[in-house]
């Protein structure tokens, strides 16, 4: 039950998408929220 670890991983992936394109920033937040909810 390492929620913090999972959150950090999601955050890293989120940042990766941000670097690819700022346009994905919105999707990144939505992805992070969904990940936290479904976890």
pTM for this prediction: 0.30
Q: Is 12 exposed, middle or buried (0-12, 13-18, 19+ CB in 10 A)?
A: exposed
What DSSP designation does 31 have?
H
The pLDDT score that the predictor gives to residue 35 is 80
- Candidates 15, 1, 2; CA nearest to 32 is 15
Percent of residues, the chain, with pLDDT higher than 90: 0
The pLDDT score that the predictor gives to residue 29 is 72
The pLDDT score that the predictor gives to residue 38 is 72
Sequence ranges of the domains in the chain:
3-38
pLDDT digits (tens, 9 = 90+) for 1-39: 455 555 666 666 655 555 556 655 667 677 777 887 775
């Amino acid at each position: 039950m390492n929620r913090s670890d999972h959150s950090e991983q999601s955050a890293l992936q989120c940042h990766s998408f941000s670097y690819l394109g700022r346009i994905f920033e919105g999707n990144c937040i939505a992805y992070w929220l969904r990940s936290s909810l479904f976890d």
